[in-house]
């Protein structure tokens, strides 16, 4: 049974006995200089976190042999998305605070908050709501009720605060919020009660509804969100929407029961693993302005994965869930050439499953020459970096 196979060198940037990871696939763990990586650290890996379990946030100095520099602790975290940790102003061109500020979620008594922190001075500023998707200009964030997600989709919310709308299928005071990162001003822009009134389906009446997986586009003009509701027999249905950050101009992009992972290709084009009743499950590119759709890589992709575009838009990085040998595959795909290159297979112990599984969640460096991923193939949860420059800068990129 192979534990790992990879044609390119893989460098561990953390090590045991403690466990380290970053979180979701749609954020940059690197600062814009490429010197520092962000990571999370805990001393267990085989159970969901309780309300009392804290995680330590570190900055990894790659120029000092991977030295871990502790920054903060928080009890607002999960195994899949961490604590929505990311560099804040590295996304804001020309910002005087670039490469200094990080943002992450935390808990204060009976509510969740987000914290902006200077990694060099330790100075902090607390905002009144947690964040989910930060805008590319670092001016605002779209967020949701993590209490409700913890109840409806364990592993993606936070444990510690009960959902006040737990017994309501679609409350009018829960939903998606716009948060100003400069002032802390925030408002509910799309409620759960509002979304069930858009092209309602018969199954709405029997389900409990929630929002999941927000992402702001490249020019900060729109964002993606998933509307999900439970099935009576278990599992859930999903609809894919986009809207403006103020909650206006809501577009139902995919109503056909299933949408999973996604990324923006362009400000009005979305790559998503989704179902279409007439064509089945594939990676699709949806245009939320024209309503057009196109299948991507039908011959080379048979399964869902955590997909993201390289900074230059030429390559897609994705992965798979475990195969029969319990290995997850790391994949680069050049859409222009319809060329898939498998750059690694990494073993994942089958007993570590469910909400505390370790998906690869591969992420790009800001220059598009390296990728970072989380893995258990050496026995503990750690972060790894692979240099893919010889592939992405080679003939396949032309």
Q: What is the pLDDT of residues 295-320, one digit of tens each?
A: 999 999 999 999 999 999 999 999 99
In angstroms, the first-to-last Cα distance of the chain is 37
Distance in angstroms (rounded) separating the CA atoms of residues 103 and 57: 11
pLDDT value at residue 226: 98
CA-CA-CA-CA torsion sign (127, 129, 131, 133): negative
**Would you tell me how many other CB atoms lie within 10 Å of the CB of residue 255?**
16
pLDDT confidence of 161, banded at 50, 70, 90? very high
Confidence of residue 175 (pLDDT cuts 50, 70, 90): very high
Predicted confidence at residue 199, as pLDDT, reads: 97
Q: What is the pLDDT of residue 123?
A: 96
pLDDT single digits (tens) 126-135:
999 999 999 9
**For residue 1, what pLDDT is reported?**
40
CA distance 224 to 391: 30
Mean pLDDT confidence for 240-254:
98
Distance, CA of 310 to CA of 370 (rounded, Å): 10
Burial class (CB in 10 A: 0-12, 13-18, 19+), 43: exposed
Nearby residues of 10 by Cβ (< 8 Å), 6 or more positions away? 4, 344, 384, 385, 386
Residue 395: per-residue pLDDT: 57
Mean pLDDT of the chain: 94
Q: What tens digit of pLDDT does each residue of 180-201 get? A: 999 999 999 999 999 999 999 9
User: Which pLDDT score is estimated for 332?
Assistant: 97
Contact 270, 262 (CB under 8 A): yes
Binned at pLDDT 50, 70 and 90, residue 3 comes out as low
What was the pLDDT predicted at 4? 64
Query: What percent of the chain lies above the pLDDT cut of 70?
Result: 95
Hey, is 90 helix, strand or coil? Answer: helix
Longest dimension (CA), the chain: 58
Q: How many alpha carbons fall within 13 Å on the CB side of residue 159? A: 13
Q: What digits encode the pLDDT tens for the residues 322-353?
A: 999 999 999 999 999 999 999 999 999 999 99
Q: What fold, for 21-305?
A: Methylamine Dehydrogenase; Chain H (2.130.10)
| pLDDT per position as a tens digit, 51-105 | 999 999 999 999 998 999 999 999 999 999 999 999 986 555 545 444 799 999 9
Distance CA 243, CA 211 (A): 13
**pLDDT value for 307:** 98
pLDDT at position 289 over 80: yes
User: What secondary structure letter does DSSP report for 195?
Assistant: H
The partner residues of 332 in beta bridges, in order of sequence, read 317, 341
Asked if 45 and 356 count as a contact pair (C-beta separation under 8 A), the reply is yes
- The domain ranges of the chain are 21-305
Would you place residue 397 in the very low, low, confident or very high pLDDT band (cuts 50, 70, 90)?
very low
Whole-model pTM: value is: 0.94
pLDDT at position 6: 72
Share of the chain above pLDDT 90, in %: 91
């Amino acid at each position: 049974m192979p534990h790992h196979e990879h044609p390119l060198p893989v460098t561990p940037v953390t090590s045991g006995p403690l466990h380290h990871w970053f979180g979701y696939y749609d954020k940059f763990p690197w600062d814009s200089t490429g010197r520092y990586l962000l990571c999370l650290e805990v001393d267990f890996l085989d159970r969901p976190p309780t309300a009392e379990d804290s995680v330590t946030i570190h900055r990894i100095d790659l120029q000092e042999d991977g030295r871990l520099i502790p920054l903060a602790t928080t009890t607002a975290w999960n195994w899949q998305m961490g604590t929505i940790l990311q560099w804040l102003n590295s996304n804001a061109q020309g910002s005087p605070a670039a490469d200094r500020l990080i943002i992450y979620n935390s808990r204060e008594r009976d509510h969740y908050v987000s914290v902006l922190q200077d990694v060099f001075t330790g100075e902090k500023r607390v905002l009144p709501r947690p964040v989910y998707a930060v805008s590319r200009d670092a001016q605002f964030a779209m967020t949701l009720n993590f209490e409700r997600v913890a109840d409806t989709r364990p592993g993606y919310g936070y444990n510690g605060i009960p959902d006040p709308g737990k017994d309501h299928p679609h409350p009018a005071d829960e939903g998606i919020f716009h948060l100003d990162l400069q002032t802390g001003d925030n408002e509910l822009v799309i409620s759960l009660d509002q979304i069930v009134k858009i092209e309602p389906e018969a199954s709405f009446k029997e389900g409990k509804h929630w929002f999941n997986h927000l992402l702001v586009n490249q020019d900060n003009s729109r964002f993606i969100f998933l509307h999900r509701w439970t099935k009576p027999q278990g599992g859930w249905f999903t609809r894919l929407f986009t809207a403006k950050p103020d909650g206006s101009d809501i577009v139902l992009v995919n109503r056909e029961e299933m949408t999973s992972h996604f990324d923006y290709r362009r400000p009005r084009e979305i790559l998503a693993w989704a179902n279409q009743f007439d064509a089945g499950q594939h990676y699709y590119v949806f245009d939320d302005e024209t309503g057009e759709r196109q299948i991507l890589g039908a011959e080379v992709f048979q399964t869902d994965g955590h997909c993201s575009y390289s900074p230059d838009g030429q390559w897609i990085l994705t992965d798979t869930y475990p195969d029969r040998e319990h290995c997850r595959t790391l994949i680069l795909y050049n859409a222009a050439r319809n060329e898939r290159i498998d750059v690694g297979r990494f073993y994942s112990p089958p007993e570590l499953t469910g909400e505390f599984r370790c998906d690869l969640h591969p992420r790009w460096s800001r220059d598009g020459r390296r990728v970072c991923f989380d893995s258990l193939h050496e026995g503990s949860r750690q972060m790894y970096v692979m240099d893919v420059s010889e592939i992405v800068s080679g003939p396949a990129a032309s």
